[in-house]
Amino acid sequence: MSAATLTAPRVKPGADEGRIGIRANLRHIGALVRRNAMQIKHDPESMFDALLMPIIFILLFVYVFGGAMFGPGNQQKYVQYLVPGMMAMMGMNIAMAVGTGVNEDFRKGVMDRFRTMPIARSSVLIAKIVVEVGRMLIATAILLGMGFLLGLKIEGGIPAFLGAIVLSTVFGAALMWIFILLGLTLKTPQAVQGMAMLVLMPLQFGSSIFAPTKTMPGWLEGFTSINPLSNLADAARALIKGQGAVAHPTLITLAWAVAITAITMPLAVRKFRNKT
């Protein structure tokens, strides 16, 4: 669906979003979600990261590090440790694509078309979030499917298992606002990717996603204790395994998600409004 097919109240382009009612705003978001979904349909290669990345990563980490972590032939134990942690990693990697996508839309002139339309500026960004959350859920489903094939067991019950998925999705959606802000601030998609990697690498590897933190140096272990990815990985692991502390890492993860959204969402919408 092209942007030109959107229906909206007859107001001046760029008008205050407060003049656009909630129902109209939701209609705009729905139309833009369909547009973004149609883009994926016409460009299926854009789904390669969501489809292939979980498979490649879990196979590499399980068979490269699994034996070293738990002894030769005990990779299944590492699967039980790794997969819940990688649920946190999926959200962050998918979130990076949002920033580059927004940046490319500006470079291609797509946002110039939205500028002339009487739609809420936030609806463009929220629609991006909705579609990327869908991609993140697909990547998570593939990751879990591979985990089950390699021996992952749900020991904490189905409700707790679904809670782990919801928690990782909520945090991943919050991270997307950071990368949208980067996409709106930096000049090129390459710059967005470079900056994103600078953020991703320390957070992913300086966490409990891939290995327990007890063997790390004191300064690094201190960093992992406040790293939101560590708390998310620990919460998902406890929910799936049915043992370990759940409340504390879950509350810390939700607090991070709320704080990130509360700070970066208004900044991103303001930056978007100024650019359009």
At 152-167, the pLDDT tens digits run: 999 989 999 999 999 9
Q: Model confidence over 101-112: pLDDT tens digits?
A: 888 878 777 776
As a whole number, mean pLDDT of residues 11-23 equals 55
Whether the pLDDT of residue 29 is over 50: the answer is yes
Q: What is the pLDDT of residue 76?
A: 81
Angle between helices 228-241 and 247-275 (to 10 degrees): 130
Whether the pLDDT of residue 249 is over 90: the answer is yes
Whether the pLDDT of residue 144 is over 90: the answer is yes
Task: Note the maximum CA span of the chain.
Answer: 67
Q: What is the pLDDT of residue 276?
A: 63
Whether the pLDDT of residue 12 is over 90: the answer is no
Instruction: Tell me how far apart the alpha carbons of residues 163 and 176 are, in angstroms, rounded to a whole number.
Output: 20
Instruction: Tell me how far apart the alpha carbons of residues 18 and 83 are, in angstroms, rounded to a whole number.
Output: 43
Query: What is the pLDDT confidence band of residue 28, given thresholds at 50, 70 and 90?
Result: confident
Highest mean pLDDT among 32-46, 51-65, 91-105, 108-122: 51-65
Kindly write down the DSSP assignment for every residue of 133-200, as one continuous string.
HHHHHHHHHHHHHHHHHTT----S-HHHHHHHHHHHHHHHHHHHHHHHHHHHHSSSHHHHHHHHHHHH
Query: What is the pLDDT confidence band of residue 6, given thresholds at 50, 70 and 90?
Result: very low
The answer to whether the beta carbons of residues 133 and 97 sit under 8 Å apart is: no
Q: What is the pLDDT of residue 115?
A: 66
Q: Model confidence over 187-216: pLDDT tens digits?
A: 888 898 888 888 888 888 889 898 888 888
Query: What is the pLDDT confidence band of residue 171, given thresholds at 50, 70 and 90?
Result: very high
Q: What is the pLDDT of residue 4?
A: 41
| Lowest-pLDDT range of 34-48, 121-135, 137-151, 243-257 | 34-48
Whether the pLDDT of residue 272 is over 90: the answer is no
Instruction: Tell me how far apart the alpha carbons of residues 103 and 7 are, in angstroms, rounded to a whole number.
Output: 25
Average pLDDT value for the chain: 84
Instruction: Tell me how far apart the alpha carbons of residues 230 and 188 are, in angstroms, rounded to a whole number.
Output: 31
Residues contacting residue 177 through CB under 8 Å, at least 6 positions apart: 129, 260, 261, 264, 265, 268
The answer to whether the beta carbons of residues 229 and 88 sit under 8 Å apart is: yes
Exposure string of 231-261, with b = 16+ CB inside 10 Å and e = fewer, is: bbbbbbbbbbbeeeebeebbebbbebbeebb
